[in-house]
Amino acid sequence: MQIDKKNMIESQLKPEGISCQNTIDCISKVNREDFVPEEFKNLSYAEYDIPLRNEYSMLKPLMTAKILQLLNIDKDDEILEIGTGSGYLTCCLSIMGKSVDTLDIDADMLESAKKSHNNYNIFNINYLGEDVFSNWTPEKNYDVIVLTGSIESRVEKLEVALKDSGRMFAVIGKQPVMYANIIERVSGTKLLCNQSFETTLESLNNFNKKNYLNF
């Protein structure tokens, strides 16, 4: 598997513009197969939609690398992840940043991710069994926020939770046209939203619930 990981970095990630050494070092440290369902372990490093038990798929390796590179994560960054999924990206975020609050509505997925993280002696991850589209609101502000599923429009209560110079990764749009965006708080009252690349991503569960705007 280590050969597969090295081949992924050299033949899949670097040719697609992944040049940030911090990103490459982090991906080198984390074994993707530790987070892949048993029957798909041979595809751990392929650009393939690996199904998870909750009817979602893992983020592909290139998407994960693009997220990490675009966010330019610092070792002092406090991070909020919306959608824990397999826990692979969570693990990468925890290595690159100071702390991670990861939120998922699926208790089984959270528990599975936690078990996988135990292999890495990680102590800076806080697991939240919450629905971002309910009346839940972040209890603090963050340097980095990552949405691992797509949304149709921006979510104000998450943007409010960005610190000054904070960055959020969000794929926004509807099939078949979506764009990956970096939303940055450049001052106390000003946000900049920069489209980075066109892509498609499964939507976050419960996005269309109407009460998520009540905050």
Domain ranges, ordered by start, for the chain: 2-213
Cβ-based neighbours of 79, under 8 Å, separated by 6 or more: 73, 93, 94, 97, 98, 99, 100, 101, 142, 143, 144, 145, 146
Number of Cβ atoms within 10 Å of the Cβ of 202: 17
Q: What is the mean pLDDT of residues 174-201?
A: 95
pTM tops 0.85: yes
* Phi, psi for residue 111 in degrees, rounded to 5: -65, -40
Report domain 2-213's class: alpha beta
Q: What is the CA radius of gyration of the chain?
A: 16
Give the C-alpha separation, 183 to 69, whole Å. Answer: 14
- Residue 208: what pLDDT? 55
Q: What is the mean pLDDT of residues 107-115?
A: 95
